[in-house]
Structure formats: structure tokens, C-alpha cells
């Protein structure tokens, strides 16, 4: 303590003065102590807040219900029964959890992707029933939020216009729902292993790598047909499929060329899981003009596809939600492929 000089008259006076001085000296100490307490309190509050925030973050993690990347219920190899076509009513009974229109989403987690499966179709009822019976359980096990769409060609036009149907399907589907990606699926292909995932991928994906018809080998490196997967935005960038291919052959090769020109790299799952059985059917009519069309693909793809659908003579007759799929009926007017081809040749001369 510092020495204090005091001038006193009486003893009492002295005592009083001494007390006052002591108190006066204590005051700064008290103030300091109060500051210390205040700082401590602030620290404690901050710590508490920090702890609270981190516990909330953990809680958030607990309630993050995104479905796992590797769905736990996948079986690997899938039994493919080609012997008997199931009755659609029975298939329906097996899938009471599928919403009318062919929609399903995992009940216990939020799917990572919203996927539309587009199936162009005509005259293959038996194949369609087998396909539906086969695909729904697989898509469910893969924990996808999905919808199955069958795009059926109507009218007397003898040729099947697959690319046009895909473009019409894509456009119609997006009018009512949003999807992250699209699977373009031949109706006659049945997946043999559910580890071949139909979930969205950042690059275009060729899924039907190994088909029994080709002895489970890829016939050629550029093949992009059968079952493919594209994000909605990639499909738009590519301007969809060409509308000009009909019958058998070429439409998928044209899509490969579009991908090539847009420098979009194709990925493929391992051929040990990307296995398919193809249901047998009569050979569809060959398109005699497929090679000449392919030659002009590069000059055409900017104005032949999604962006000139309005010029294609077709009509969406009905969109109907059946239990296991949404049916899009498309009337395709009779057309002469020679005329179509000539049109193409002229426009690119």
C-alpha cells in the first residue's frame, strides 16, 4: 500500500479519514474485479453460444435424410423372366405404393435425383408389361424419385419415329414436372443387375453396355443406343434427338455425333453390371437413308431436334395416367421418308 500523509486534528478525525482513504483505494480494485467478471461472463456466453451452434449443426446432420449413395437394398444380379408376360393387373397389385402415372419416391429418405424414364413404344404390349414389371422394383431399390413415361406412336405411318417420340416425350413431361435427368429406354431391354444405377450423372451415360444379343460385349465404341442417360440440360444443349430418323438404325449414332460436336464425354458403367437381356422381336424396317442422314448430321443438329418440333407433323392426342406409367399418345402423320430425306439433302447442299 502507498504511504499517505494525513493532517489530523483528532483521533476520531484520523480514523474517519483513514477509512475514507482505504475505501478510495479499494474503488479501482472493485472496478477492475467487475471488469474481470464482465469479461468472464462474455466469454462464458460466447462459449455457450458456440456449443449451442455446434450441437444444432450435429442435430441438422442427424435430420439430413438424403438417401445413401449406395442404396442398401440392391441385390446385384436380377432374375430376368422372359418366359411369361405378366398380366398388368397383377403387376399393379405388386406395386400399390406406385402413384398413378408411374411415380414413386423413397418413403424414408429424400432421393438424390429425380429421374424420368422415357420409353418410345408401339405394338409391343407383351414387352411393355414385362418391362414395367421388371423396372419398377429396380428403380425402387435404387432409391430414385422417378416417373415412367410411355410415348406411343399412333396413326398409319408405317415407320417408327423414335427420335421424334423422345423429343415429344421430353417436351411433354417437362410441362408438368421437373426432372434432373432422363433415361432413354428401349422397351425390349431388361436390366440384369440393379447395381447399374439409373441415377443422374454429370456426363452423358451409356447404360446398356453389355447386351446378350451382342454376347455381352460393346459392338463398337461409339454406340449410344439402347439405354442411355442424359441430364435435362445436356439434352437441351444437344437439341435432343434428330426428328428425321425412322425405322431401324442411325438415330442413336446421330446422337453420338451430337455429343461429339458438343464435346460431351460419354461415360459407361462396368460391363459386369451394365448387362441386359433383349426381348426378341421381328426385325423392324431398316431406314435406307440412315447413312446419308448421318453424313449431314453436323450441319443439321442446330435446327433439327427439340427446336423444330413445331414443324414436325404430329399431335399429342392424350396424356393419361395409368397406374404404372404415364401414357403419352402421339399421332404421327403419314410421311414419305424419301421426301424427308430429299428435304434434308436440299437444305444442306
152 binds, among Mn ion, ligand BGC, none (CB under 5 to 8 A by kind): none
DSSP string covering 224-263: --SEEEEEHHHHHHTTSS-S---SBSSHHHHHHHHHHHTT
DSSP 99: B
Give CA separation, 281 vs 19, 124, 214, in Å: 113, 9, 15
In the complex, minimum distance from the CB of residue 211 to ligand BGC, in angstroms, rounded to a whole number: 9
In the complex, minimum distance from the CB of residue 127 to ligand BGC, in angstroms, rounded to a whole number: 17
In the complex, minimum distance from the CB of residue 213 to ligand BGC, in angstroms, rounded to a whole number: 8
188 binds, among Mn ion, ligand BGC, none (CB under 5 to 8 A by kind): Mn ion
Specify the residue, 240 or 250, whose C-beta has the smaller distance to ligand BGC. Answer: 250
Task: Please state at what angle helix 251-261 crosses helix 162-176, rounded to 10 degrees.
Answer: 60
What separation, in Å, do the N-terminal and C-terminal C-alpha atoms of the chain show?
108
CA distance 120 to 251: 13
In the complex, minimum distance from the CB of residue 312 to ligand BGC, in angstroms, rounded to a whole number: 20
From the number of C-beta atoms within 10 Å of its C-beta (0-12, 13-18, 19+), residue 275 rates as buried
Residue 200, SS3? coil
Size of the site for Mn ion (CB under 5 A): 1
Q: Which residues contact 197 (CB under 8 A, 6 or more apart)?
A: 142, 269
Nearest residue (beta carbon) to Mn ion:
188
Specify the residue, 14 or 286, whose C-beta has the smaller distance to ligand BGC. Answer: 286
254 binds, among Mn ion, ligand BGC, none (CB under 5 to 8 A by kind): none
In the complex, minimum distance from the CB of residue 287 to ligand BGC, in angstroms, rounded to a whole number: 9
Specify the residue, 91 or 190, whose C-beta has the smaller distance to Mn ion. Answer: 190
249 binds, among ligand BGC, Mn ion, none (CB under 5 to 8 A by kind): ligand BGC
Q: Which residues contact 270 (CB under 8 A, 6 or more apart)?
A: 209
Task: Report residue 314: phi and psi, to 5°.
Answer: -150, 165
In the list 152, 157, 188, 193, the residue contacting Mn ion (rule: CB under 5 A) is 188
Residues that bind ligand BGC (CB under 6 A): 219, 225, 249-250, 252-253
Question: Is there binding between residue 254 and Mn ion (CB under 5 A)?
Answer: no
In the complex, minimum distance from the CB of residue 185 to ligand BGC, in angstroms, rounded to a whole number: 13
Specify the residue, 113 or 185, whose C-beta has the smaller distance to Mn ion. Answer: 185
CA distance 26 to 37: 17
Q: Which residues contact 301 (CB under 8 A, 6 or more apart)?
A: 238, 239, 242, 254, 257, 258, 261
Specify the residue, 154 or 248, whose C-beta has the smaller distance to ligand BGC. Answer: 248
219 binds, among Mn ion, ligand BGC, none (CB under 5 to 8 A by kind): ligand BGC
Specify the residue, 124 or 268, whose C-beta has the smaller distance to Mn ion. Answer: 124
In the complex, minimum distance from the CB of residue 291 to ligand BGC, in angstroms, rounded to a whole number: 9
CA distance 251 to 258: 11
Specify the residue, 162 or 195, whose C-beta has the smaller distance to ligand BGC. Answer: 162
Chain residues in the site for Mn ion (CB under 5 A):
188
Amino acid at each position: 500500500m502507498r504511504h499517505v500523509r494525513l493532517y489530523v486534528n483528532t483521533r476520531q478525525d484520523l480514523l474517519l479519514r483513514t477509512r475514507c482513504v482505504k475505501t478510495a483505494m479499494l474503488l479501482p480494485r472493485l472496478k477492475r474485479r467487475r471488469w474481470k467478471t464482465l469479461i468472464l461472463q462474455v466469454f462464458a456466453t460466447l462459449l455457450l453460444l458456440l456449443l449451442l451452434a455446434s450441437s444444432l449443426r450435429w442435430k441438422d446432420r442427424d435430420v439430413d435424410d438424403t438417401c445413401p449413395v449406395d442404396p442398401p437394398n440392391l441385390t446385384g444380379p436380377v432374375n430376368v423372366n422372359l418366359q411369361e408376360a405378366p398380366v398388368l393387373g397383377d403387376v399393379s397389385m405388386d406395386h400399390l405404393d406406385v402413384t398413378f402415372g408411374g411415380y414413386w419416391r423413397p418413403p424414408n429418405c429424400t432421393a438424390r435425383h429425380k429421374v424420368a424414364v422415357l420409353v418410345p413404344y408401339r405394338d409391343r404390349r407383351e414387352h411393355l408389361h414385362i418391362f414395367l414389371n421388371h423396372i419398377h422394383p429396380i428403380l425402387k431399390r435404387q432409391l430414385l424419385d422417378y416417373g415412367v413415361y410411355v410415348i406411343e406412336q399412333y396413326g398409319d405411318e408405317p415407320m417408327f419415329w423414335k427420335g421424334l417420340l423422345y423429343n415429344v416425350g421430353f417436351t411433354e413431361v417437362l410441362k408438368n414436372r421437373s426432372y434432373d435427368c432422363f433415361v432413354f429406354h428401349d422397351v425390349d431391354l431388361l436390366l440384369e443387375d440393379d447395381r447399374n444405377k439409373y441415377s443422374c450423372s454429370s456426363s452423358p451415360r451409356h447404360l446398356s453396355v453389355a447386351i446378350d444379343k451382342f454376347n455381352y460385349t460393346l459392338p463398337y465404341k461409339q454406340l449410344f443406343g439402347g439405354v442411355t442417360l442424359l441430364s435435362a440440360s445436356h439434352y437441351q444443349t444437344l437439341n435432343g434427338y434428330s426428328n428425321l430418323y425412322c425405322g431401324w438404325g442411325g438415330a442413336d449414332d446421330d446422337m453420338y455425333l451430337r455429343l461429339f460436336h458438343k464435346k460431351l464425354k460419354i461415360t459407361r458403367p462396368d460391363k459386369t453390371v451394365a448387362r441386359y437381356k433383349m426381348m426378341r422381336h421381328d426385325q423392324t424396317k431398316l431406314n435406307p437413308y440412315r447413312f446419308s442422314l448421318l453424313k449431314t448430321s453436323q450441319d443439321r443438329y442446330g435446327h433439327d431436334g427439340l427446336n423444330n418440333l413445331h414443324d414436325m407433323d404430329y399431335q399429342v392426342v392424350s396424356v393419361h395416367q395409368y397406374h404404372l406409367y404415364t401414357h403419352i399418345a402421339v399421332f404421327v402423320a403419314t410421311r414419305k421418308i424419301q421426301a424427308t430425306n430429299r428435304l434434308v439433302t436440299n437444305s444442306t447442299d
